[in-house]
Structure 1
Amino acid sequence: MDPWTVATVVGGAVGAVVAAPVVLGAIGFTSAGIAAGSYAAGMMSAAAVANGGAVAAGSTVAVLQAAGAAGLSGAATAAVTGVGAAAGAAAGAAGAAVGWLTAKIF
């Protein structure tokens, strides 16, 4: 694997792990609970309406709130790292393809 691809995979993985808690807080999944008027509050409301007034344990809203309140578990960190690495690999492959195509055209 070339150095550019390695760098984008590592950067994607690290970036995803660092960004996940920031993004969760920004959309309203905080350590103090779901922030009023936030995107997370809208998700919670929709989930409660769809489920007869309660948010189901293990639902997307419940999992995101748990991560926002306590941070990512080991399994969640691994999953986020994998997704970030895959995104980095895709970015690296796209960059390599553009470079190859540019070299062939010019």
Structure 2
Amino acid sequence: MVCWDLLYYAVGGAAVGAGAIFAAPMVLTVAGFTSSGIAAGSIAASMQGAAVTSGSLFAAAQSVSVVGVSTMAEVAAVAVGSLAGTAVGCLNDACNIENE
């Protein structure tokens, strides 16, 4: 495998991670997590209940919709995307080599 292949996989994965950072607020808004609270009649409203606790996925989604995503989370998403893209690309190349 040529080193350029690894770079392409890493950049592709990083792009997916960066895209997820930009898409997350839009997806949360569509689901009903708004900056002013949970939208009535939304998916988020149907998920909300008395059992929602601090640190839960529901609480994290509401926090992201109000405050946004931290810089550290952005960096982490791009880094994880890059690593995942590289790993998937390497596995794909390994499978293609075995099938030849």
TM-score (norm 2): 0.69
After TM superposition, the structure 1 = structure 2 runs for residues 48-59 of structure 1, keeping only pairs within 5 Å, are 48=50, 50=51, 56-59=53-56
Identity of aligned residues (%): 35
Distance 1:63 1:97, change over 3 A: closer
Q: Distance in 1 between matches of 2:31 and 2:97?
A: 42
Equivalent AA in structure 2 for residue 65 of structure 1: Q
Q: Distance in 2 between matches of 1:81 and 1:43?
A: 29
- 1:105 alignment partner in structure 2: 99
Is 1:93 paired with 2:87?
A: yes
Kept after mapping to 1: 8 A contact 2:15/2:81: no
Distance 1:69 1:32, change over 3 A: same
Is 1:5 paired with 2:9?
A: yes
- Residue 17 of structure 1, CA deviation: 1.3
Q: Distance in 1 between matches of 2:16 and 2:75?
A: 8
Q: Which moved more, 1:15-24 or 1:83-92?
A: 83-92
Equivalent AA in structure 1 for residue 58 of structure 2: V
- 2:46 alignment partner in structure 1: 42
- Name the count of aligned residue pairs: 96
Structure 1 residue runs of 5 or longer lacking an equivalent are none
- Considering only aligned residues, what root-mean-square deviation do their CA atoms show, in Å? 2.6
